[in-house]
Amino acid sequence: MQYRTLGRTGIKVSPYALGTLMFATSIGNPDPSDSVRIVHKALDAGINFVDTADSYQDSEEIVGRALKGRREHVVLATKVSRPMGSDPNQQGASRRWIMTAVEDSLRRLQTDYLDLYQIQRPDPTTDIEETLSALTDLISSGKVRAVGTSVMPASDLVEAHWVSERRGLARFRTEQPAYSLLNRGIEREVLPVTQRFGMGVLVWGPLGQGLLTGRVRKGQPVDLRRAEFVKHVTDERRVDVVEELVKLAADAGMPLTHLAMAFAIAHPAVTSAILGPRTMAHLDDLLAGAEVRLPDDVLDRIDEIVPPGTDVGTLDQAYQPPAVLDPALRRRSLADRSAA
């Protein structure tokens, strides 16, 4: 593989990263030993970037088991901030929780340090200076090499870098947004901001949470056993676009999965795209397309189907800021409305 530099960290990573959400036994691969073999197969193929999270059920334990004897050759990333229990303080990006959560992740991963520690979702209840201060201390202690974010809006990224510079704190070196043939919204602001600040970008969902595997087709039955996780498979707008992309892939002489992955790593701001295989067969299919590069005429046709900077529908796991979720933040009070 042709390795790329992760932003300005100097760390070299493969253009495909191995995501481990599907190693969570209740929603993905029920056999931890098989998941370990998938990790080994990915490493043997040249993938050196592994991304997990404390909230991925037992995935960190499985990754820790898989990396025994191979840890020094792997760029290991994990994440914090999603709820880890009913306790309201076992989530978010406060110093209190970060300092506890990192120790738990290190223990589960059976390692002394993390190459990349990411805030999995923005925490609007915590001052970004508090978060950056805690992460700075983790870097100083040697437990973390670099820090990053996930699905952080462009304006929040700018604010975080301003705070880092003003307070002399560690900078967020990476961002992990959703990006695929169906979801190109980050091209409008997020990716230009990451380029401006020299951030590495690790994109998730390049296969559209399953819609771009070629197994979801218009008018055909869909396996909805995980409907709570992939409700978007019934979004007719998305399925209609998938049909156009299936034809494009066929015209280009490649499977839809290869078209989707090659598109995700074609943007100059993107460092790596996360593979999320559940089985060895899934991994083999994706690895077979690792060297695919899309010519300009194919990229032009993609732009015609899904214009740059636009999303087709909304991902189930897309981040929704408080300004959108909380009606009180977008409605004047009755008294104010009456006075107006």
pLDDT tens digits, 111-147: 999 999 999 999 999 999 999 999 999 999 999 999 9
Given pLDDT bands bounded at 50, 70 and 90, which one contains residue 35?
A: very high
Residue 337 sits at the vertex; the CA angle it makes with 335 and 340, to the nearest 5 degrees, is: 110
Angle at 75 between CA 73 and CA 79, to 5 degrees: 145
Percent of the chain exceeding pLDDT 70 equals 94
Which residues, listed in sequence order, are joined to residue 116 by a DSSP beta bridge?
77, 146
- Phi first, then psi: give them for residue 286, nearest 5 degrees: -70, -40
- SS3 letters across 234-264: HCHHHHHHHHHHHHHHHHHCCCHHHHHHHHH
Predicted confidence (pLDDT) per residue in 195-230, tens digit: 999 999 999 999 998 899 987 777 666 654 554 445
pLDDT computed for residue 233 by the predictor: 62
Q: List, for residues 274-322, the tens digit of each pLDDT value.
A: 999 999 999 999 999 999 999 999 999 999 999 999 999 877 777 888 8
* Domain tally, the chain: 1
* Residue range 237-263: mean pLDDT, rounded: 96
Please compute the mean of the pLDDT values over residues 1-28 and round it to a whole number. 95
- State the DSSP H helix or E strand holding residue 80, giving kind and residue range, or none if neither: strand 75-80
pLDDT of residue 235: 76
CATH of the domain at 49: 3.20.20.100
> Which residues carry out catalysis?
56
The amino acid sitting at 115 is D
Structural domain range at position 288: 4-339
